[in-house]
Amino acid sequence: MGVESLLAGLEAAGEITRLRLLALIGEAELTVSELVAILGQSQPRVSRHLKLLVEAGLAERQREGAWAFFRLADGPGGALARDLVARLAPADPILVADRARLEMTREARRRQAAAYFAERAADWDSIRALHAPEERVEAAVMAMIGEKPIRALLDLGTGTGRMLELAAPLAERAIGVDQSPAMLALARSRIEQSGLHNVQLRQGDIYAPPVERDAYDLVIIHQVLHFLDDPARAIAEAARALRPEGRLIVVDFLAHDQEFLREDFAHRHLGFTIREVEAFLTDAGLSSVQTHQILPAPGEPGKLTVAIWLARDMRFFTAEPPAETPTRHTAEIA
Ligand SMILES: C[S@@+](CC[C@H](N)C(=O)[O-])C[C@H]1O[C@@H](n2cnc3c(N)ncnc32)[C@H](O)[C@@H]1O
């Protein structure tokens, strides 16, 4: 860090409210109104302090619909802030009181998230009842991911963050993107409850994901494609986020005839054939496609089959994509 920026960072952090703010946003992503409630100071005052922290590169502001969340920055300023916060004695009475009020804020979030779920419980359950149990699908996804550590993970259309909860423990850092602030609020609550500190959530469109290119070793698109008017474009965007040798996992329904999902649940596509998604993946420049199907258990008529497609960015292996893409198909039933 240059002398100028180190001095600017130290100056910004060198004030009691700003130091408390850094400690708080080091624990959780928080809105101005949450920080106002925790610190017991006026909104303009808290906003002014936050602005100084952002200008000095210690904190960053992430817009999400009508809300904005503050967290420690990613770059060297954020690293300085983390160093400073790590030096604070956790038993300091000011910090103890701040943490207690932070816990109350988190509890309020958890209650809100639970109320949202309770309202929609019937919807979730009726969709779940249509396909093989979630645990089987999740076990198959995790088996395909394997146990190799992941540097950077991206979950597109993260919804309530379930895929992040499962796979982020394998990753150094993980990003979840969704267009819906309500879903992101649920994801935020779930991630906090899981104690995952390596996850960031961002509001954004799957067609223009707010993420770096060539940066992720694993991208997941789980039960999102059937909502989209242009699934091929979403896959092409996901492929751009992959680093060489990175993997893309797509999970969706196999083509089905449950028309009511269109009217009642805004599904645009009644699932996809294996070939359709394979074509999206190879058109996006990926190859080595493997698929796995999770078939309805015997005695469960009308249940949908869930399919998993795994493809790889082959830039390290070959300059040109192979003419014939090697494919492997497996299927399981309960
Ligand atoms: C059925 S949920 C699946 C969530 C999550 N992947 C999971 O499986 O638990 C579909 C998610 O896709 C998100 N979504 C739909 N269209 C999107 C778009 N164009 N950009 C980003 N997210 C989108 C919705 O907001 C919703 O959270």
Q: What's the 224 CA to ligand 1 centre distance in angstroms?
A: 5
Atom of ligand 1 nearest to the CA of 228: 16
Among the listed ranges 19-28, 72-81, 120-129, which one has the minimum average pLDDT value? 120-129
For the chain, give the longest Cα–Cα distance. 70
Q: Which helix (H) or strand (E) holds 114?
A: helix 93-128
The reported pLDDT for the residue numbered 76 is 94
Give 120-137 pLDDT, tens digit per residue: 766 776 777 788 888 899
267: CA distance to ligand 1 center in Å? 11
What pLDDT, on the 0 to 100 scale, is given for residue 230?
Answer: 87
Reference 220, options 274, 149, 145; nearest CA is 145
Q: Is the dihedral of CA 182, 183, 188, 189 positive or negative?
A: positive
Token pair of 323 as six digits: 């003419």
DSSP conformation letters of 202-258: EE--TTS-SS-SS-EEEEEEES-GGG-S-HHHHHHHHHHHEEEEEEEEEEEEBS---
Parallel/antiparallel/unpaired status of strands 199-203 and 150-156: unpaired
Q: What share of the chain is helix, strand, coil (3-state, %, to 5)?
A: 45, 25, 30
In this predicted model, what pLDDT tens digit does every residue of 161-203 receive, in sequence order?
Answer: 999 999 999 999 999 999 888 889 889 989 999 999 899 999 9
Ligand 1 pocket, mutate which of 224, 253, 265 (most atoms under 8 A from CB):
224
Question: Ligand 1 center to residue 189 CA distance, Å?
Answer: 17
User: d(Cα 82, Cα 226) in Å, to the nearest integer?
Assistant: 41
Q: Is the CB of 112 under 6 A from ligand 1?
A: no
